[in-house]
């Protein structure tokens, strides 16, 4: 499933193509994905200027000048492809479910083989009051309210494993399994530690490493382990930098002695070093 860096990569690719432009055509090749597609999406969006593209957690938000926002989620296997006018001869594939044609002749395709992604159309000024946005926690990048003292205070109200807490979207939004494993490894914190045992200094280190992991992953175009492809068709390459995730029974690259362990937490695989992470 695309995580925050993969979604941010998509947003950054879409901005120079879509911001300040409008849609000339919206082609829906099926009536639904995870949910029914917005009713008369072409009629609602055609001709209106796109004023901004942003991300909240793992959601892509495309704002239009008439007060509507197109909300996109990539689900398990969704990807966004950007094709310039020179590639218009390419025929849609069997999983190209929604195609947007821009006023300057670019083609934006939502491709989703498993159809767990979705598109919703909502009033922009209501977003923060709507599910799921009303229940999302701290934004791990660029949220000035995410300081160690506040984060620690939230963690101290719970007695769950820190790994499970990092995957809880009501605590911190958008951080997925891959990057939670990596951040905990970098912070030298065991994924089994209970949230109410973390000191303020450990919390500061953890937030720093979360920021570092996500920033480096975005710069690398995300991680391509199965489905993620950047909008230009290239794969991400952060998977080549992973120090913990998917490295069970391989030596820890820090202590160089202990073999990394794989356990299951909250139905997700966790990878960590029993020696380095305490």
pLDDT digits (tens, 9 = 90+) for 58-72: 999 999 999 999 999
Q: Using pLDDT thresholds of 50, 70 and 90, give the confidence band for residue 92.
A: confident
Q: Report yes or no: 61 and 54 within 8 Å, Cβ to Cβ.
A: yes
Q: What confidence score (pLDDT) does residue 20 get?
A: 98
Q: Which of 62, 76, 60 is nearest to 23 (CA)?
A: 62
Q: Which of 96, 6, 9, 11 is nearest to 53 (CA)?
A: 11
Q: What confidence score (pLDDT) does residue 190 get?
A: 98
Query: What does the domain layout of the chain look like in residue ranges?
Result: 4-135, 148-272
The one catalytic residue among 193, 268, 274, 275: 268
Known catalytic membership, residue 275? no
What mean pLDDT is reported for the chain? 91
Known catalytic membership, residue 3? yes
Q: Report yes or no: 196 and 213 within 8 Å, Cβ to Cβ.
A: no
Domain 4-135 is classified in which CATH homologous superfamily?
MutM-like, N-terminal (3.20.190.10)
The one catalytic residue among 5, 6, 38, 58: 58
User: Which run of H or of E encompasses 108?
Assistant: strand 107-111
Class level of CATH domain 148-272: mainly alpha
116 vs 225, more confident: 116
Known catalytic membership, residue 58? yes
pTM for the predicted model, two decimal places: 0.91
Q: List Cβ neighbours of 129 (8 Å cut-off, separation of 6 or more).
A: none
Known catalytic membership, residue 268? yes
Q: Is the pLDDT of residue 149 over 90?
A: yes
The one catalytic residue among 2, 5, 38, 191: 2
- Report CA-CA distances (Å) from 37 to 34, 59, 70, 164, 258: 9, 16, 11, 32, 50
What are the tens digits of pLDDT across the range 240-274? 689 999 999 999 999 999 999 999 998 999 999 99
């Amino acid at each position: 499933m695309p995580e925050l860096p993969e979604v941010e990569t998509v947003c950054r690719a879409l901005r120079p193509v879509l911001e300040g432009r409008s849609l000339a055509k919206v082609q829906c090749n099926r009536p639904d994905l995870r949910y029914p597609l917005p009713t008369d999406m072409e009629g609602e969006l055609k001709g209106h200027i796109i004023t901004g593209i942003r991300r909240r957690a793992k959601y892509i938000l495309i704002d239009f000048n008439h007060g509507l926002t197109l909300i996109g989620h990539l689900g398990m296997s969704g990807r966004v492809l950007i094709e310039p006018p020179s590639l218009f001869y390419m025929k849609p594939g069997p999983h190209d479910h929604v195609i947007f044609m821009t006023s300057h002749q670019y083609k934006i395709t939502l491709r989703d083989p498993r159809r767990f992604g979705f598109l919703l159309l909502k009033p922009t000024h209501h977003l923060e009051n709507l599910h799921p946005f009303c229940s999302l926690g701290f934004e791990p990048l660029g949220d000035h309210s995410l300081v160690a003292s506040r984060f620690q205070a939230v963690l101290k109200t719970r007695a769950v494993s820190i790994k499970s807490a990092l995957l809880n979207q009501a605590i911190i939004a958008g951080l997925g399994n891959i990057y939670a494993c990596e951040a905990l490894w970098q912070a030298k914190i065991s994924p089994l530690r209970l949230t109410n045992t973390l000191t303020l200094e450990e919390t500061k280190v953890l937030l720093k490493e979360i920021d570092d992991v996500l920033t480096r992953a975005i710069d690398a175009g995300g991680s391509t382990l199965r489905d993620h492809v950047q909008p230009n068709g290239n794969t991400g390459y952060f998977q080549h930098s992973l120090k913990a995730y998917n490295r069970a029974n391989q030596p820890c690259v820090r202590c160089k002695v202990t073999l990394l362990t794989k356990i299951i937490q909250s139905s997700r695989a966790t990878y960590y070093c029993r020696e380095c992470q305490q």
